[in-house]
Amino acid sequence: MQIEGTLQAISDTNYWEGLRAIFLMDGINGANIYSNTGKGVIDGNGQAAWDVFAANSSYRRPTLFYINNSKNVNVRNLYFKSAPNVFHSVTGGSSNITYTDIALYAVSNSSNVAHNTDGWDIGQSTYVSINHATVTNDDDCVAFKPGSSFATVTNITCTGSHGISVGSLGSGAGNTDTVQNCFVSGATMIDSTKAAGLKLYPGPPKHGTAVVTNVTFENFVLKNTDYAFQVQSCYGEDASYCSSSPSTAQVKGVVVRNFSGTTSSHYSPNVANLNCPAAGSCGLTLSNITVKPPSGSAVFQCANTPSSIGVPCSAGASG
């Protein structure tokens, strides 16, 4: 499908409530959605949905572009704007999904923030690729969700986001969420809460566990980002619950390397917060991290980390 012009969703929030997606690809084998001129726009017209959600957090908003149980789909040279909720979701066992030269933009023109406008949520799938993308939003730039495997992100710029995240994982009691074999290289992170990180729920009885294996974040440039890297093993709960029910997540082969640039003053001089699972494992290594705070020397806060982590650790990690 070639798009040269604007496809705009109606702003009727009653019509869209509870629907899974505005654009849904389900059970598709082989599709190309593209613009040759660079003037193809898919507009979710999400301002009304953001405003309703600000007043009523139970309002169920659709994903803008949802790929489920599909394979061999290519999305190229398109501009997506104002998603009511998440921009792109890939799940349902999808495979060989490629995004190239994509721009995403979600900024509210009211006092109500464009919440939950993740750029990509990559769930149960294999071989999802994102190459050359720019994202301006107010949530995760890219999130590797449960079941993500062999996903690749290269040459991406994220502004105003919550960074590139693994997770959140381990939310459901009795469940084991997995993310494996994911690779991110060449990211510019601007005005973000973190450049990259892991979001892990604590343990039972309220939650399950997670296994994160073979994930690499490399060649990141930071501009006014709160943290360079963050490991949260008490996600979604308070410190009291996490103390009695620590995360049992297994983190194996997570590599963070070649991070440069500057953090913001928000946590200065702390540039990383590495709170690894207290009842799990922390196979995490950092190398060539030259990120600088606005003043002073960079501090890496750590908890439950191995001595071989690769950076000088200071106590005080939390979250």
Catalytic sites, residue numbers: 162
Long-range contacts of 24-28 (CB under 8 A, 24+ apart): 24/66, 24/68, 25/65, 25/66, 25/67, 25/68, 25/70, 25/73, 26/66, 26/68, 26/69, 26/70, 26/92, 27/68, 27/69, 27/70, 28/67, 28/70, 28/71, 28/73
Q: Compute the distance between CA of residue 233 and CA of residue 245 in angstroms, rounded to an integer.
A: 11
Looking at the DSSP assignment, which residues form a beta bridge with residue 197? 165, 230
The CA-CA-CA angle for residues 302, 308, 312, to 5°, reads: 45
CA quadruple 311, 182, 168, 292: dihedral sign: positive
